[in-house]
């Protein structure tokens, strides 16, 4: 078992009597604040999209849109081939050690893989849909599946930018996609007086393509600045041995939190998806802080592992920074949930019980984020996969058992139970393999 020794680095006092955080904690908090600001801006734009689409499309149309995007997100994850997490694992180390050839090599692989894989998957899906000859859904499905290549590319490109400490450029693209989608949808609705799921997905496709092109330019410029004309070195076997388990981990992680949407759509129909998606999207604000902290902590943890730094303290601080503010945010969301849901229209008022349960679950999910990152970047890929697979199995089994009887309320109960199970499994895995406690530091909101 590999363990990490916690080195004492207490907070220091300034001559004016104020308490100063250790340098690494202050850096993490500052970077997380910047990432969180961009993340919340993207979330606000995305939330505005949901409000407008729910009003303009109605429950059925919005449910069809949300259901299609759930599938897009999952398959785009597969097209990324695990490279987002692998980039977090390797790129900071290559930069820190000046291994520019390997940096160029992995960047080129990351640049091409999602586009090639996404295009192949889209071609296969297009052929299947055309052979099925299902006119009512063919148009919507055909547009949706071609969002895959740019969506997969944006995911991988954002990971590369985070790994090279381009925080703003990593978090700006989701914001840009949403802003472009809002402007396009608003213009269409004003011009025609209506908006269907097909039209919304077409606007989304255009937005994703434009943002993917912008990110490609950013990566090319960033790589040229860092590596110049360094000759690429390809360690494909090593990269993909790491990427494939991380892909499984990411896919299971996504399924453990979003399989509810897919199963509701398959069992209960798209109208129920629309109702559940509104509650789920509103509860997602609770997870935004944890996501920002994990995104910032990942390259830092990888660098500390490469340099032999104090990983334990960094993970503990990241866990506290992700968890406790998320708890406060969950309380605020629950207290203001009814007026928030009224923005979508009177039909969505019955989603309030779902919102309360999912907001509490999101706060618990935030606690597991930094520890999951540690398992992935410290070489314990299969442990992370087993944790995610276990949580996914719990979620799928409970959704299958509860949705037919309790509907979308059963899906919310299943998702919350799976998140609790994942937190427990992450704690056990980190304790056994790394000698670190995940839950323990969460009981101490402030650490001097």
- pLDDT for 198: 79
- pLDDT for 3: 43
Q: Per-residue b/e over 89-115, b at no fewer than 16 CB within 10 Å?
A: bbbbbbbeeebbbbbbbbbebbbebbb
CA distances from 238 to 13, 35, 250 (A): 46, 30, 18
What phi-psi label fits residue 89: left (phi over 0), alpha (psi between -120 and 50 degrees) or beta? alpha
Residue 135, number of CB atoms within 10 A of its CB:
7
- pLDDT for 5: 39
Distance separating alpha carbons of residues 156 and 153, to the nearest angstrom = 5
- pLDDT for 253: 73
- pLDDT for 12: 43
Token pair of 351 as six digits: 């989603």
Q: What is the chain's alpha carbon radius of gyration, rounded to the nearest angstrom? A: 22
pLDDT, tens digit (0-9, with 9 covering 90-100), for 329-388 = 889 889 988 888 888 888 888 888 888 889 888 888 877 666 777 776 676 767 877 888
Chunked in runs of 10, what are the mean pLDDT values of the chain (448 residues)?
A: 40 43 49 60 74 80 82 83 78 75 81 87 84 61 85 84 72 69 74 76 83 82 72 77 75 77 82 84 78 67 65 68 79 89 83 88 77 71 80 90 90 89 83 69 51
- pLDDT for 139: 72
CA distances from 320 to 294, 388, 433 (A): 11, 21, 21
- pLDDT for 21: 43
Q: Which residue, 392, 356, 364, is CA-closest to 283?
A: 356
- pLDDT for 397: 92
- pLDDT for 31: 53
Distance separating alpha carbons of residues 227 and 221, to the nearest angstrom = 10
What phi-psi label fits residue 134: left (phi over 0), alpha (psi between -120 and 50 degrees) or beta? beta
Distance separating alpha carbons of residues 189 and 212, to the nearest angstrom = 25
- pLDDT for 305: 65
Distance separating alpha carbons of residues 254 and 252, to the nearest angstrom = 5
Distance separating alpha carbons of residues 93 and 107, to the nearest angstrom = 14
């Amino acid at each position: 078992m590999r363990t990490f020794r916690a080195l004492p680095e207490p907070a220091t006092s300034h001559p004016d009597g104020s308490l100063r955080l250790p340098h690494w904690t202050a850096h993490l908090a500052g970077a997380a604040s910047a990432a969180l600001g961009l993340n919340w801006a993207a979330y606000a734009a995305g939330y505005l999209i949901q409000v407008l689409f729910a009003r303009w499309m109605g429950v059925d149309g919005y449910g069809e849109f949300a259901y299609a995007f759930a599938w897009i997100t999952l398959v785009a994850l597969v097209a990324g081939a695990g490279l987002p997490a692998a980039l977090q694992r390797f790129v900071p180390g290559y930069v820190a050690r000046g291994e520019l050839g390997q940096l160029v090599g992995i960047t080129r692989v990351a640049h091409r893989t999602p586009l090639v894989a996404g295009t192949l998957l889209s071609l296969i899906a297009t052929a299947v849909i055309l052979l099925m000859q299902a006119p009512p859904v063919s148009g919507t499905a055909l547009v949706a599946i071609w969002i895959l290549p740019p969506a997969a590319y944006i995911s991988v490109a954002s990971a590369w930018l985070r790994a090279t400490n381009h925080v703003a450029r990593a978090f700006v693209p989701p914001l840009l996609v949403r802003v472009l989608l809002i402007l396009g949808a608003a213009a269409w609705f004003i011009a025609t007086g209506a908006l269907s799921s097909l039209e919304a997905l077409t606007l989304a496709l255009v937005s994703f393509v434009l943002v993917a092109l912008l990110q490609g330019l950013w990566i090319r410029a960033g790589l040229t600045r860092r590596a110049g004309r360094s000759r690429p070195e390809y360690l494909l076997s090593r990269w993909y041995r790491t990427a494939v388990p991380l892909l499984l981990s990411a896919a299971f992680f996504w399924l453990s939190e979003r399989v509810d949407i897919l199963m509701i759509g398959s069992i209960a129909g798209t109208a129920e998806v629309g109702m559940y998606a509104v509650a789920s999207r509103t509860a997602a604000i609770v997870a935004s802080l944890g996501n920002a902290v994990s995104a910032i902590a990942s390259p830092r943890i990888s660098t500390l592992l490469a340099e032999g730094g104090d990983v334990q303290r960094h993970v503990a601080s990241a866990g506290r920074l992700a968890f406790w503010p998320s708890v406060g945010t969950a309380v605020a969301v629950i207290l203001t949930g009814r007026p928030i849901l009224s923005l979508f229209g009177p039909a969505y008022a019955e989603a309030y019980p779902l919102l309360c349960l999912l907001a509490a679950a999101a706060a618990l999910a935030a606690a597991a984020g930094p520890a999951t990152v540690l398992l992935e970047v410290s070489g314990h890929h299969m442990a992370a996969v087993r944790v995610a697979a276990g949580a996914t199995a719990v979620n799928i089994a409970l959704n299958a058992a509860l949705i037919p009887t309790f509907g979308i309320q059963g899906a919310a109960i299943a998702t919350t139970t799976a998140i609790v199970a994942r937190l427990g499994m992450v704690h056990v895995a980190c304790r056994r393999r790394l000698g670190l406690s995940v839950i323990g530091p969460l009981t101490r909101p402030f650490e001097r």
